[in-house]
Amino acid sequence: VLLKAVELNPLEPVINVNLAELMASNGDPQGAREVLQRVLAITPDEPSLLRSVAVLEMVERNYLAALRAARKALAADPQGPANIHAMLDVELQIEDFDAASELARRLPEDTRDRQTTLQWIEFRRGSLEMLPQMAALIDELGRFSSSSSNTDMLTLGGMIEMRRGNMARAVEWLKQAAGTPEQLESNFELMNPASLLVVALTALGETEQAKRWTQPLLETADIVIQHERNAVRRHMIEAMAATHRDDSKAAVAALKAAYEAGYRDRWQVLYDPRLAPLQANPEMQAMQQRMAEEFAAAREQAARAGLD
């Protein structure tokens, strides 16, 4: 369908971006790159195309190319939230937290987007601080029906409270995010808050409640693993499932496989409560150190190129 749409509208940015994203997700990053470059040759300043290039190059760990594309998109509309986030994503990936924090302040004041983004930056930096505006925002969400954006905010809040040792509050927020065990079957995206909820409930000694979640969580994970085509996502779900089965050896093996497939979320290795039992593992320590060195090299390269 997308190929036919491109044939009819060969220079339409949205169609070409969608095609490139599909090709990249199917394991053809070079084909995706060619699609984007073909249209950029005609419209070199189109922000949506440049943002897509930034994502593609970042996944391929071509950080300098990702920064160039994101910066060019931002130059086209310096206050556009989508362009700001494209640049933020690259800066966060290479752990340039100060630059990311400064840029995030371009987002409109007193908005959910700005508060969530600033909180996310601090979390990835390793801070245990819960920004007051963020806490108030999450508490307010409890009075409204669930949505994907609410789920993401509640999950982030839950992770922060878990790291702070406030397990009861974490459970309160994660229950709102995860819904019920029965919902996992129809909404696989709930695996993330449900997985964190199991850890928080266990920490509180609520073993029966934790067991009520664990079995459907693992059954859902097994289904997703069988069908997931993205290798990084598949291996990370394998790692999550292994932690719930108390199989640290399998969890580390899955994380190593994810790393080989391109996984570079160092913040998760360091700060995700589910991976805390693996922190002392020498292979995990070596993995996060390799990531740290890769990002430091990327920041140095960006500085030399005047892109910092």
The pLDDT, as a whole number, for residue 195 is: 98
* H, E, C per residue of the chain: CHHHHHHHCCCCHHHHHHHHHHHHHCCCHHHHHHHHHHHHCCCCCCHHHHHHHHHHHHHCCCHHHHHHHHHHHHHHCCCCHHHHHHHHHHHHHCCCHHHHHHHHCCCCCCCHHHHHHHHHHHHHHCCCCCCHHHHHHHHHHCCCCCCHHHHHHHHHHHHHHHHHCCHHHHHHHHHHHHCCHHHHHCCHHHHHHHHHHHHHHHHCCCHHHHHHHHHHHHHHHHHHHHHCCCHHHHHHHHHHHHHHCCCHHHHHHHHHHHHHCCCCCHHHHHHCHHHHHHCCCHHHHHHHHHHHHHHHHHHHHHHHCCCC
Burial pattern 35-51, b for ≥16 Cβ within 10 A else e, equals bbeebbeeeeebbbbbb
Mind listing the pLDDT tens digit for each residue in 234-273? 999 999 999 999 999 999 999 999 999 999 999 999 999 9
Tokens read off for 251:
């969890």
Which architecture characterizes domain 1-90 according to CATH? Alpha Horseshoe (1.25)
Between helix 207-227 and helix 191-203 the angle, nearest 10°, is 150
Contact 161, 184 (CB under 8 A): no
The pLDDT, as a whole number, for residue 167 is: 97
pTM: 0.90
The pLDDT, as a whole number, for residue 117 is: 96
Mind listing the pLDDT tens digit for each residue in 7-66? 666 667 888 888 888 888 877 888 899 989 999 988 999 999 999 999 999 999 999 999
Tokens read off for 230:
């993205």
Q: What is the mean pLDDT of residues 72-85?
A: 96
Q: What is the mean pLDDT of residues 66-74?
A: 97
Mind listing the pLDDT tens digit for each residue in 103-145? 999 999 989 999 999 999 999 999 999 998 888 888 887 666 5
Give dist(CA 214, CA 199) in Å, integer: 10
Give dist(CA 142, CA 215) in Å, integer: 26
Give dist(CA 306, CA 130) in Å, integer: 33
Give dist(CA 134, CA 242) in Å, integer: 32
Q: What is the mean pLDDT of residues 65-69?
A: 97
Give dist(CA 138, CA 157) in Å, integer: 7
Contact 238, 226 (CB under 8 A): no
The pLDDT, as a whole number, for residue 19 is: 84
